Amino acid sequence: MNFLSQITGSFAMPAAENPTVAMMDAAYRHHGIDARYINCEVAPEKLGDAVRGARAMGWKGFNCSLPHKVSVIEHLDGLGESAAIMQAVNCAVLRDGRLIGENTDGKGFLKSLREIADPAGKQVLVFGAGGASRAICVELALAGAERITVVNRGKARGEELVKLVDTNTLANAEFLPWSSSFRIPGETDIIVNATSIGLYPDIDARLDIDPVSLTPGLVVADIIPNPPRTRLIEDAQARGCEVLDGLGMLVNQGIINIKYWTGVDANGAVMRAKLEEIFGL
Ligand code: NDP
């Protein structure tokens, strides 16, 4: 039995109902992978002990969530390319006896986005500048997006992200302040909600944008996984935009994690079906 685990500090749900655990276990069962994905609550001051424990027990790897994504780095042996740029890790992988930190959040988003649009050469506008936005902006830039516009409530965080993308990638990045009833510039190809606006239980919350600027043909991606049909997705669909919900990112980062840990190409339909069952879709 191999253990592939999640080291987490902030899950509100008990493990039995945790959608990520259920999704990963569904994939393991479907492919007959002899492993378990278990949820471990780890206090920040015990993170080093937890990683040493994972090494001692021979785990193939683990995911880690907030607040460990940055602090875990000092306990690892190296970083993948995008994780090194972001300085944030959500997936550790045992390779030739070394624990390497990767970031599969942004890669998962990119994989799901590519099912409807290739970001290469495109103008992308991303709302939010937190950890998820950081991962998404770096991967979009590495995938050849021409311009990445970050719109964030807090100016300092937004400008810091723009500097990170500008310094480390070939994409042009710019920051725009989030003015009231924000108008999406007409030349935009893709917008992404990478804020936490709309996340359960605040399901009626809307981005402060001018709905008229959601024009037909615009690709609108929301990374909120719960509920998958956010107000943004509903509004965008009603206005003729092409939409992508947050389950796509969750499923695809899981697929990449499983590939890293086991080499298996996991079946995304099985994983998504499990999430849809949990969310009652
Ligand atoms: P962070 O806390 O790091 O960042 C939150 C971001 O949302 C910040 O940019 C913050 O702005 C902004 N924000 C929050 N509330 C408001 C508001 N009322 N008005 C305007 N801006 C607001 O969180 P993460 O980046 O880690 O996660 C963001 C979301 O992404 C979460 O809801 C999470 O569930 C989702 N997520 C989904 C994944 C998936 O697989 N689908 C994977 C990872 C995350 P400011 O800087 O001004 O505070």
Ligand 1 atom closest to the Cα of residue 157 is 46
Do 128 and 209 reside in the same domain of the chain?
Answer: yes
User: Same structural domain for residues 115 and 200?
Assistant: yes
Does the beta carbon of 223 lie inside 6 Å of ligand 1?
A: yes
Q: For the segment 244-281, what is each residue's pLDDT rounded down to a tens digit?
A: 999 999 999 999 999 999 999 999 999 999 999 988 88
pTM for this model (two decimals): 0.91
CATH for 112 = 3.40.50.720
Q: Please report the pLDDT score of residue 279 as a whole number.
A: 84
Do 111 and 237 sit in the same domain of this protein?
yes
Residues 157 and 218 in one domain: yes
Does residue 240 sit in the same domain as residue 112?
yes
Give the chain's domain count.
Answer: 2
Same-domain pairing of 231 and 263: no
**pLDDT tens digits, 114-166:** 999 999 999 999 999 999 999 999 999 999 999 999 999 999 999 999 999 99
- Per the structure, the complete domain to which residue 215 belongs is given by 107-245
Both 98 and 169 in a single domain? no
Q: 116 and 223: one domain?
A: yes
Residues 201 and 263 in one domain: no
Whether residues 122 and 218 share a domain: the answer is yes
Annotate the chain with three-state secondary structure.
Answer: CEEEEEEECCCCCCHHHCHHHHHHHHHHHHHCCCEEEEEEECCHHHHHHHHHHHHHCCCCEEEECCCCCCHHHHHCCEECHHHHHHCCCCEEEEECCEEEEECHHHHHHHHHHCCCCCCCCCEEEEECCCHHHHHHHHHHHHCCCCEEEEEECCHHHHHHHHHHHHHHCCCEEEEEECCCCECCCCCCCEEEECCCCCCCCCCCCCCCECHHHCCCCCEEEECCCCCCCCHHHHHHHHCCCEEECHHHHHHHHHHHHHHHHHCCCCCHHHHHHHHHHHCCC
239 lines ligand 1 (CB under 6 A): no
For residue 15, is pLDDT > 70?
no
Q: Is there a single domain that holds both residue 89 and residue 143?
A: no
Mean residue pLDDT across the chain = 92
The reply to whether 46 belongs to the active site is no
Query: Ligand 1 within 6 A of 133 CB?
Result: yes
User: What is the rounded average pLDDT of the residues 14-43?
Assistant: 87
Catalytic residue among 69, 111, 122, 274: 69
Whether residues 6 and 45 share a domain: the answer is yes
pLDDT at 8: 46
Nearest-atom index, ligand 1, CA of 134: 25
> 7 CA distance to ligand 1 centroid (A)?
20
Tell me if 197 CB under 6 Å of ligand 1.
yes
pLDDT of residue 10: 35
What CATH number is attached to the domain comprising 81? 3.40.50.10860
